[in-house]
Amino acid sequence: MVERFEEGGKTSRDDVRREAARRLSESGYHLSRIREFATGVPMLASLKYLSLQIDFAAESLSRLDPIPEDFRADGYWPAG
């Protein structure tokens, strides 16, 4: 995995957003969303809720100053 940091070695908001996108992708959310669009069968409510939780965690982490260097740790994110 390539780590990208802002100038000065600080973790950026984009780093946090990339981690949120990675976690959302690994949860199966995007595939379920596509399946919902294609078939009309609603996606699981738990996946919708997980998406909201990940967005909230990412927003909260990116507002911290400084953003923790270990922001990728599972303790900061909802369990999927």
pTM: predicted TM-score of the whole model, two decimal places: 0.83
Structure tokens at 3: 């780590």
**Which pLDDT belongs to residue 44?**
93
Give the domain ranges of the chain.
11-76
Per-residue pLDDT at 8:
60
Exposure b/e, 18-37, CB count within 10 A at least 16 = b: ebbeebbeebebeebeeeee
**Cis omega before residue 42 (within 30°)?**
no
Give 10-residue mean pLDDT values along the chain (80 residues).
57 96 96 96 95 98 96 94
Interatomic CA distance for residues 49 and 13, integer angstroms: 22
